[in-house]
Amino acid sequence: MDKNDIYIRFLEYGVEKDNFTLNELKQYLKLSDIEFKLVDNEVNGADTVARSNHYRPEESTNAHDEILQLSFRTKSDYFDFLELKAARKASREAKFLATFAIIISILAILVPIFSTQKVSIVETEQEVLSTIDANTDENTTTSK
């Protein structure tokens, strides 16, 4: 499993559960020892979590039983990740719709070009002129 996938699953769990221990996290996410070590290094090496005053249940001396919470910065980063993920999805959808609109526009241009009958302007002008001449001849014969 990719390190980023483990980190995202860790963040999802941390956002879902307000307080948690590393042991609970390991059991819930079903992490292997190597994956757990990655998470443990992240928790201990960065300000990813806020410790609850280093509280441990009295019966445990294990550091993995310490109650943890995601820090505000980490939660903010996770929500930024979710927004970015949604923006990427919206971008893909907008790109698809724009491509679809371009195809429709091209078809709207091409269909009239290939589907209309070609009428010669010269023929139309000649018909108009002959009609005018015919009307003129009728008017001149009736007035005589």
pLDDT single digits (tens) 61-81:
566 777 888 888 888 888 999
Q: What does pLDDT average to over the chain?
A: 78
Predicted TM-score (pTM) above 0.85? no
Burial of 84-122, coded b for 16+ CB within 10 Å and e otherwise, reads eeeeeeeeeeeeeeeeeeeeeeeeeeeeeeeeeeeeeee
Q: Please, are residues 69 and 50 in contact by the beta-carbon 8 Å criterion?
A: yes
Domain ranges of the chain: 3-70, 82-143
What pLDDT digit, counting tens, does each position of 102-143 carry? 999 999 988 887 776 665 555 566 777 777 777 776 666 665
Output the pLDDT for position 143: 57
